[in-house]
Amino acid sequence: MTDSSKFKMNISRPEPRRANVERPAKPMNALGGQIQSGPASPQAKAESLAILSFLDDFNDELESALDIIAPNAHLHMAMHLLQGHFDGKMVTPTSMIGASRVPYATANRRLREMVEAGLIEQRPRTKTGKSFSMHPSEQLLEQWMQLSGRVRRLAETRFGGRARAQDTKDYYFGGSYSAAQSIPPLSVLSKPLKLPGGLRVLVHGDPTFMVMDTLKRQFEQVIGTTIAQRAFSIDRLRDEALRNAERPASRYDIIAVDLPWIGEFAEKNVLMPLDQVMDLVRLDPADFHTAGWKAAHWGGRAYGVPAQTTPELLFYRRDLFAEAGLEPPATTDALLTAARTLHDPRRGRYGIAWNAARGTALGHTVLMTMADFGQPVLDLPEIAGGFDTDHLARGNYRPTIDTDAGLRAAEFLLELLDYSPPDILSMSWYERVRPYAAGSIAMAYGYTLLAPYFELDESSPASGQTGYLPHPSGPGASPVAPVGGYVLGIPANLSPDRVPAAVEALTVFTSPEAQKLYVQNGSRTNPRYSVGSDPEVRRASSIFEAVDAMSWRDELQFWPRPPVPEIVDIIQICGEEFHDMLRGIVTPRDALRKAQARADAIIQSNRIP
């Protein structure tokens, strides 16, 4: 190999640095405090980035061992450029020439050859256009992707290693799950976004959005401007989004919106309909999980793009179930049996944990438990596979809480109390998963976004031992995995001159390439089928295969929390009345009656002209 040899690498994109996985920003709990996360899993390390490092070291060894081999300037500059791209560091022509290991004039010629071959994108750094930053082109990234896959397969074939998982032989929409179908990494925008003060983003303080913050430097390289991200707990996030809508001009270019808020935010003009400012075809809507994409709509129009599709599942300890001779619970009766069997307070182990804290947390549990018994909280028309939510914007709905199914749900929650930890009535989003990760809980209801707290902590007894199920169903009902998560939307009061750049950034943040990057840095949420089928993603966690299977079986549903403008109040009402029931202050019948009356009054007051 000589310096005059042509650069003929077929290279694919490596993924983010291991450092981003090992030192993520600390996510915030529901009260806005920080949670200490466990160590990252070795599986989270991006293979193609490891291959980049391997080739760099191997090339050094070759050039050092055999004097006849001259440095390959093309190769050295390509690897320097790729490393800078994945680290989010600016690469200049000067730094590339310095990395070439050949004389300046020779390196300059090789650099021009790479630009002419379409392997390098040059982005102007100044208004004069005389200074450039250098970025790998889509062609270079695609070629690196192919090469890294071939190197891995050659190493496995010649020297042994992890056998390809059986699921990589399956098919998705007729396409192979093989490594050749892997989603490539993010490439930079050909033109940097022009946003005075940079891009301003308002998000929820959960693990996925904290991964985005960890990767901020890399995203800044991609979009060509700085990013300022503010993160709040769920209730504060809603309050800030509503306050922002009252300002003459939005302080944020993009905001994260919890799925149940879509109707309220559309009706109150918090968000602009996306078809007003972009061609939705660019987003590839068919690639999103159906429930997540539909949940982003109100009155037939999309008001956001799914950034997280995170169903609430039942986490259960496979090892404990095996020791006890239990089958994974598919019904509420089987769940109670398993909780009773595994509940052993004297040994510091409890059967199950769930959202039971007063207010918002328990309110979500009530709505989802009613769904487990086959009933939505509103009188939605029944359709094949669930209930129809397409016409909620018409407003002709009423609460359905005080019903026979509601009573069965209430009695089920009372039974769960017997096999729950003593502080269950103060447990909410994170508090239910932390003891599960610590090994003191055998089962827990939890969103997939919380799975990193045990999946990425190798010291957790639940790491590698967790199974994932939809909610077990009551008699005559079907299993449901209630869809949660966030969409990213554009504030309706955003200054018109900032809207085009916000659209471009929104497209980047929700792209398959970005979603894969989040997963490789510890996220366990994913709104796209293509990402769930990517072989590297599937190797990262079994949760993605499980969620995809639930989607194909029509178990992912968002009707348990229909996004009507009153839903936040209804959730709060249920969380208050049912908490009194769980404390023994009122009977189940009284709790249902009071919740029904209050919910009726809320909806009636909203309809008064």
Q: pLDDT-based confidence at 467, cuts 50/70/90?
A: very high
CA angle 197, 201, 206 (to 5 degrees): 145
The CA distance from 105 to 73, in Å, is 11
- What is the pLDDT, as a whole number, of residue 181? 62
**For residue 17, pLDDT beyond 50:** no
**Close Cβ partners of 589 (under 8 Å, ≥ 6 residues apart):** 407
The CA distance from 103 to 216, in Å, is 35
What's the pLDDT tens digit per position in 104-120?
A: 888 888 888 888 888 88
What's the pLDDT tens digit per position in 196-237?
A: 999 999 999 888 898 888 899 899 989 999 999 999 998 899
What's the pLDDT tens digit per position in 174-202?
A: 333 333 368 888 888 888 999 999 999 99
**For residue 501, pLDDT beyond 90:** yes
Lowest-pLDDT choice from 243-252, 388-397, 592-601: 388-397
Say whether domain 18-139 belongs to CATH 1.10.10.10. yes
Q: Which of 396, 340, 393, 400 is nearest to 374 (CA)?
A: 400
The CA distance from 529 to 403, in Å, is 37
The CA distance from 527 to 512, in Å, is 9
**For residue 44, pLDDT beyond 50:** no
Residue where the block lists tokens 């510890």: 522
DSSP characters for 337-382? HHHHHH-BGGGTBEEEE---STTHHHHHHHHHHHHHTT--SB-PPE
> At how many degrees (to 10) do helices 207-214 and 216-223 cross?
60
The residue ranges of every structural domain in the chain are 18-139
**For residue 546, pLDDT beyond 60:** yes
pTM for this model (two decimals): 0.74
Q: pLDDT-based confidence at 158, cuts 50/70/90?
A: low
Task: Spell out the SS3 assignment of 377-418.
Answer: CECCCEECCEECCCCHHHCCCCECCCCHHHHHHHHHHHHHHC
- What is the pLDDT, as a whole number, of residue 207? 85
**For residue 10, pLDDT beyond 90:** no
Per-residue pLDDT, averaged over 335-346, amounts to 98
Per-residue pLDDT, averaged over 246-259, amounts to 97
Q: Which of 529, 417, 566, 454 is nearest to 183 (CA)?
A: 529
The CA distance from 84 to 503, in Å, is 26
State residue 444 phi and psi, 5-degree precision: -155, 140
